[in-house]
Amino acid sequence: MQSQNISDIIEKYLKSILADAEHVEIRRSEIADLFNVVPSQINYVIKTRFTIQNGYLVESKRGGGGYIRIEKVNLLDDADVLDTLIQVIGDSITQRDAYAVVQSLYEDGVLNRREAQLILVATDRNTLGVDDHDLENSLRARIIIGILNHLRYES
């Protein structure tokens, strides 16, 4: 029942490789063939599911012998993680990216499950309930950054 769309399946496939390895390196057309989609769909999957907010770094090369390489990075490795995250968020963030950020913080133990849920609820589209999207995204950014800044003084 789960993940009926191909993008989700490709995402899972790539993540299953990343579960065992430091990074994946693919040939775009090969993966596209494997799942019977057009090559640009691979870009779509990467763009929507392997963002820096999700903790992934992507690099690629065109031309002969080209590739796409996805690496899982630990955003919390270096001392000023919070600064990094705050920069990444900027003054606006979509719900999807916010989910990714909070997920990363949870995976890295900065937040426990309950706290992560609270933040997601507080920044949920329906919770905020504003019709202006720019306002919604900027509110979400302010709330998350406010919380991140608070976490800094707590620990």
Report the C-alpha gap between 26 and 67 in whole angstroms.
6
* The binder of DNA chosen from 16, 21, 29, 121 (CB under 7 A): 29
Q: Which of residues 38-97 bind DNA (CB under 7 A)?
A: 38-44, 47-48, 60-68, 96
Contacts 24+ apart (CB under 8 A), 19-25: 22/71, 22/72, 23/69, 23/70, 23/71, 23/72, 24/69, 24/70, 25/67, 25/68, 25/69, 25/70
| Closest CB to DNA among residues 81, 93 | 93
Binding partner of 68, given a second copy, DNA, none, CB within 5-8 angstroms per partner class: DNA
Cβ atoms of residues 73 and 122 within 8 Å: no
The number of residues making up the chain comes to 155
Interface characters, 22-51, with a second copy (x: CB under 8 A): ---x--------------------------
Report the C-alpha gap between 9 and 3 in whole angstroms.
6
Give the tokens for residue 113: 């499950």
Which residues contribute to the site for DNA (CB under 7 A)?
Answer: 2-8, 26-29, 37-44, 47-48, 60-68, 96, 125-126, 133
Which residues contribute to the site for a second copy (CB under 8 A)?
Answer: 1-8, 25, 63-65, 67, 113-115, 117-119, 121-124, 126-130, 139, 142-143, 146-147, 149-150, 154-155
